[in-house]
A and B are shown apart, each in its own frame.
Chain A
């Protein structure tokens, strides 16, 4: 009995990805503009890691937390801007206080006063206090980290591939990063250190994906010197499509496990990752490769010449 294996992508697909760029380039341009717009208008909801302040996760010992009562009581403490939100279950509340004037020393007082005010009705599950000094450092480190990664990766790509590929990959990655930032700007999810982790991981994942396709393109360029560029790019994308989809699927499944069962602390992180993975696959397939057309990738000969592999069956010697 021969088992039929699962094939998410049928064999010998011939999707005209390159022609479809007429649809997807404008779509991406639109998404990019929307993301940048959201970023400029709404801005990122910087978490306490970057803005300084205090974060408390509290759980009501009763059956559910009374947010409005809490808001009033805490408001009387005059500790500036307070954000309250339900966190996973009706009993859990996330309380955020902005940075208090008075430098690092003043931040500690907040926790003590809140603890006294809430009293025994609430169990304090988690406290995070970030003073102005450290938050400034983390912000700087975050920005430098992302910029540095992109730079290092770009240099690596430039060594391994011709410059057109490096540029193409970088455009696709910047596109992904813009969309992720847009996601954070629109949803106003906390942008803290773990968001930087998402950004860097997705950059890595998206490039990972793109490199696989580019590797195939480079190979085909060597093999088929006479094939028109559009057809060659289509062939490359179509032949790597099974791999792209299957890996995307496994990564997606792993993340699904994390999103639904990983608990509330991780949920913002994993949800952003899910979006990032989808965006990464999209950009690899529909953006990165077609861009190579505009970059004149054929004008330079790629590597040594090799005879095209015949598509006819090769008789292997009986062994």
Chain B
């Protein structure tokens, strides 16, 4: 146990120095840091509870995704059957299934063939094909049933989340925050972490709006009030305006132009009234359709609808051929600004709901850092004093081992670019208390062997041998608990589990190599006849 080959010695020292050195990038000012090669630029990040900022978990409305897909499928079926001049009745869409009854049985094979073209294969992560997204079957009585498969729907949700992440990123970037972290979480969630955010309220408002903009004609076949009381005509809906108090409007379902064709949106002021407005510009496609619609409907009102709310419903005075215009709707400056941001970023494919939020103000963050540092110093000082008092010279070895241990923990955290949270700091302090244990087990064993009659050298040798087995068993149990806690925990608690688990591993390493090396060196130098503990 006391025999260290030269290579073992060098390896031990190198590994210890390497991992400890890895924490150095954290202490460099950013100008120096950026000039280093990428490998050396790895630093720890401070958790939101230390930096201040917001942690927002959003969940996509999967039902909305399913419904949109189903409605699109129904519209596709209608279009295909009409184009093929196949008569049908009873086109329904419900519970992820579209049913349609053909008027004539002879159309069945033709209809089936055409409708089957709607179905697409789904490829799994390996690129292989694993089923289709729509099942088209005959359901007796001249009815064709098109079912959206679960695999297909899951794929849609997954795509919707990917799209949402992009759009959320664009919206968050507009706020000008520092390095937001936006990532997928699970099958239907998006995690947004924005450090140093001063006004989470505005961010949450921006994220809460789907921002689907559509331009539709106002249906003038009956008054909106009439439609409310009786029933709106088919192909039209009653939508409320966004004024106070909200007024009803009867709007056609058919979309003339949608926000997808917007190329730009900027906040501004109306030239005549100086009200805040949002001016927009369409791409060629949108401009063409807009021009067509305005040419055909001079004198009629059209509605600008945002997320099922009518923002404004101006009358078309003249055809708008240039593809640009402005939206006014009694906005404040902030509202105009935000609307422009939303339009530029694009509409979310489905609404996002906030399911979890944790925001820490910068003031508390700073206080937490100070408290963490102070607790770490005090705790460490107490432990150091106690150990020195108990073990004297050997205590110094133990302290060195513990400091290298903590250095390695920080080094590994930096290499992993992990997040340091306040409970994480607590984990490190706790590790200091528990890391000493390995040394204590060794020392007490050595002491016992010596007092039991062995010579100094034999005592040290067998002391290590017996002790190391115990250390491994004891630490593995703690490690299991730590790893499971890491797996189930989130945020700050996860930071604690991480530092604790890393701490246990580094503890076992330093006890097995570094402490042993130091004592072996001491034995070799001093050739003791007595053990000084």
Interface residues of A (CB under 8 A from B): 3, 5-8, 11, 57, 59, 103-105, 107-108, 111-112, 115, 123-131, 133-134, 138, 141-142, 144-145, 148-149, 152-153, 156-157, 160, 193-194, 196-197, 200-201, 203-205, 207-209, 211-212, 215-216, 219, 239-240, 242-243, 246-247, 249-258, 260-263, 265-266, 269-270, 273, 309-314, 316, 319
> A153 touching B480 by the CB < 8 A rule?
yes
B361 in complex: contacting residue of A124, A130, A263, CB < 8 Å: A124
Q: Which residues of A contact B440 (CB under 8 A)?
A: 243, 246-247, 250
Contact B433 A204 (CB under 8 A): no
* Residue contact A262 to B426, C-beta cutoff 8 Å: yes
CA distance in complex: A240, B485 (Å): 29
Q: Which of the residues B371, B433, B451, B533 comes within 8 Å of A255, measured between beta carbons?
A: B433
Cβ-based interface call for B59 (8 A)? yes
Q: Roughly how many angstroms separate A147 CA and B377 CA in the complex, as a whole number?
A: 35
CA distance A309 to B389 in the complex (A): 31
Q: Are A204 and B387 in contact (CB under 8 A)?
A: no
Q: Chain A: which residue is nearest B452 at the CB level?
A: A311
Prevailing SS type, chain B contact patch: helix
A193 to B487, CA, bound (A): 13
Give the residue name and chain of the B residue nearest to A208 (CB): B474
- Contact across chains for B361 and A204 when beta carbons are under 8 A apart: no
A105 touching B473 by the CB < 8 A rule?
Answer: no
A94–B466 CA distance with the chains assembled, in angstroms: 51
B390 touching A253, Cβ below 8 Å: no
Q: Is the CB of A145 within 8 A of B364?
A: no
Interface-lining segment among B232-240, B315-323, B490-498: B490-498
Contact partner of A309 among B441, B452, B485, CB < 8 A?
B452
Across the interface, A203 reaches (CB within 8 A) one of B357, B469, B481, namely B481
The answer to whether the Cβ of B391 comes within 8 Å of any Cβ in the partner chain is yes
* A103, A130, A253: most-surrounded residue (chain B CB, <10 A): A253
In the assembled complex, the Cα of A240 lies from the Cα of B470 at a distance in Å of 12
* A258 with B429: CB separation less than 8 A: yes
Whether A256 contacts B379 by the Cβ 8 Å rule is yes
Q: How far is the CA of A205 from the CA of B454 in the complex (A)?
A: 32
In contact, B430 and A204 (Cβ under 8 angstroms): no
The verdict on A138 contacting B353 (CB below 8 Å), with A115-B201, A160-B473, A239-B448 known, is: no
Contacts of A246 in B (CB 8 A): 390, 440, 444
- How far is B452's CA from A200's CA once the two chains are assembled, in angstroms? 38
The yes or no answer to B436 lying at the interface (CB within 8 A) is: yes
Asked if residues B390 and A5 are in contact (CB atoms below 8 Å), the reply is: yes
Do A205 and B434 form a contact, CB below 8 Å, given A194-B492, A212-B441, A263-B367? yes
Q: How far in angstroms is the closest Cβ of chain A from B403?
A: 14
What are 16 A-B contacts with C-beta separation under 8 Å? A104-B355, A133-B355, A156-B480, A194-B493, A208-B434, A247-B436, A250-B440, A253-B386, A255-B429, A257-B429, A261-B375, A262-B372, A262-B374, A265-B364, A266-B375, A314-B453
CB neighbours (8 Å) of B413 from chain A are none
Shortest CB distance A238–B (Å): 11
Given the known interface contacts A138-B490, A145-B488, the answer about A5 and B389 at a Cβ–Cβ threshold of 8 Å is: yes
CA distance A273 to B434 in the complex (A): 13
Interface residues of B in 493-528 (CB under 8 A from A): 493, 496-497, 500, 527
Q: Is the CB of A108 within 8 A of B204?
A: yes
* Interfacial residues of chain B within 189-207, with CB under 8 A of chain A in the complex: 200-201, 204
Q: How far is the CA of A5 from the CA of B59 in the complex (A)?
A: 60
Determine if B51 is an interface residue (Cβ-Cβ < 8 Å): no
- Point out the residues of chain B lying under 8 angstroms from A258, CB to CB: 375, 379, 426, 429-430
Residue of B353, B391, B426, B489 touching A105 (CB-CB under 8 A): B353
Indicate if B457 sits at the interface (CB-CB under 8 A): yes
B361 touching A314 by the CB < 8 A rule?
Answer: no
Q: In the complex, which residues 173-219 of chain B have their Cβ closer than 8 Å to any Cβ of chain A?
A: 200-201, 204, 208
Interface residue count for B (Cβ, 8 Å)?
Answer: 86
- Judge whether B458 and A125 touch: CB under 8 Å: no
Known A-B contacts A200-B482, A253-B383, A266-B422; A193 and B493 likewise in contact (beta carbons under 8 Å): yes
Q: Is B63 an interface residue (CB 8 A)?
A: no
Give which listed residue, B381, B392, B477, B492, contacts A3 with CB less than 8 A.
Answer: B392
A181–chain B nearest beta-carbon distance, Å: 16
Residue B326 lies at the interface, judged by CB distance under 8 Å to chain A = no
Contact with A along B350-390 (1 / 0, CB 8 A): 00011111111101100110011011111111110011011
Tell whether, in the assembled complex, residue B448 and residue A249 are in contact, meaning their CB atoms are under 8 Å apart: no
**Which residues does chain A contribute within 8 Å of B396, judged by CB atoms?**
none
CA distance A131 to B356 in the complex (A): 6
Interface hits, B423-480 → A, CB 8 Å? 423, 426, 429-430, 432-434, 436-437, 440-441, 444, 448, 451-455, 457-458, 466, 469-470, 473-480
Q: How far is the CA of A128 from the CA of B104 in the complex (A)?
A: 61
Contact indicator A153/B422 (Cβ below 8 Å): no
B444 touches A243 (CB 8 A): yes
- Residue in chain A with minimal CB distance to B369: A263
Q: Are B481 and A149 in contact (CB under 8 A)?
A: yes
B57 at the interface (CB under 8 A from A): yes
Supplied contacts A254-B429, A273-B430, A313-B453, 4 more A-B pairs, CB within 8 Å? A108-B357, A125-B360, A152-B480, A314-B458
Which residue in chain A gives the minimum CB-CB distance to B200?
A127
- Of the candidates A115, A134, A141, A211, the one whose C-beta lies within 8 Å of that of B477 is A211
Contacts of A112 in B (CB 8 A): 201
Residues of A within 8 A of B416 (CB): none
| A247 in contact with B434 (CB, 8 Å) | yes
Q: Which residues of B contact A216 (CB under 8 A)?
A: 470
* Chain A residues positioned under 8 Å from B489 (CB to CB): 145, 193, 196-197
In whole angstroms, how far apart are the Cα atoms of A284 and B377 in the complex?
A: 30
Flag B318-362 by CB within 8 Å of A: 1 or 0 each.
000000000000000000000000000000000001111111110
- Give the Cβ gap from A15 to chain B, nearest Cβ, in Å: 17
Instruction: Please list the 7 inter-chain residue pairs (A to B) with the smallest Cβ-Cβ separation, ordered nearest first.
Output: A257-B379, A263-B371, A254-B433, A316-B455, A204-B481, A204-B478, A262-B375
Also in contact, A129 and B357, with CB within 8 A (given A104-B59, A256-B382, A269-B426)? yes
Chain B residues closer than 8 Å to A149, beta-carbon distance: 480-481, 484-485
Whether the pair B372, A263 counts as a contact (CB closer than 8 A) is yes
| Complex contact A197–B497 (CB within 8 A) | yes
Bound state CA distance, A273 and B433, in angstroms? 13
A197-B493 contact, Cβ under 8 Å, with A243-B440, A257-B376, A266-B423: yes
B453 touching A257 by the CB < 8 A rule? no
A210 vs B457: C-alpha distance when bound (angstroms): 29
Across-interface contacts of B133 in A (CB, < 8 A) = none
Does B49 belong to the interface (CB within 8 Å)? yes
Chain A residue with Cβ nearest B378: A257
Q: Which of B49, B59, B452, B488 contacts A144 (CB 8 A)?
A: B488
Q: How far is the CB of A118 from chain B (nearest CB, A)?
A: 14
Contacts of B57 in A (CB 8 A): 134
Q: How far is the CA of A252 from the CA of B432 in the complex (A)?
A: 11
Q: Which residues of A contact B353 (CB under 8 A)?
A: 103-105, 131
Instruction: Compute how far the CA of A36 lies from the CA of B208 in the bound complex, rounded to whole angstroms.
Output: 44
Interface centre among A8, A255, A261 (most CB of B within 10 A): A261
In the complex the two chains form, what is the Cα distance from A239 to B463 in whole Å? Answer: 14
- In the complex, what residues of B have CB within 8 A of residue A208's CB? 434, 437, 474-475, 477-478
A269 contacts B390, CB within 8 Å?
no
- A250 CA to B507 CA, complexed, in Å: 15
B14-54 with Cβ < 8 A to chain A: 49
With A104-B354, A263-B375, A265-B422 as contacts: A215 and B481 at CB distance below 8 Å: no
Residue contact A156 to B382, C-beta cutoff 8 Å: no
Asked if A5 and B481 sit within 8 Å, CB to CB, the answer is: no
**A133, B189: Cα distance in complex, Å:** 12
B434 smallest CB distance to A (angstroms)? 6
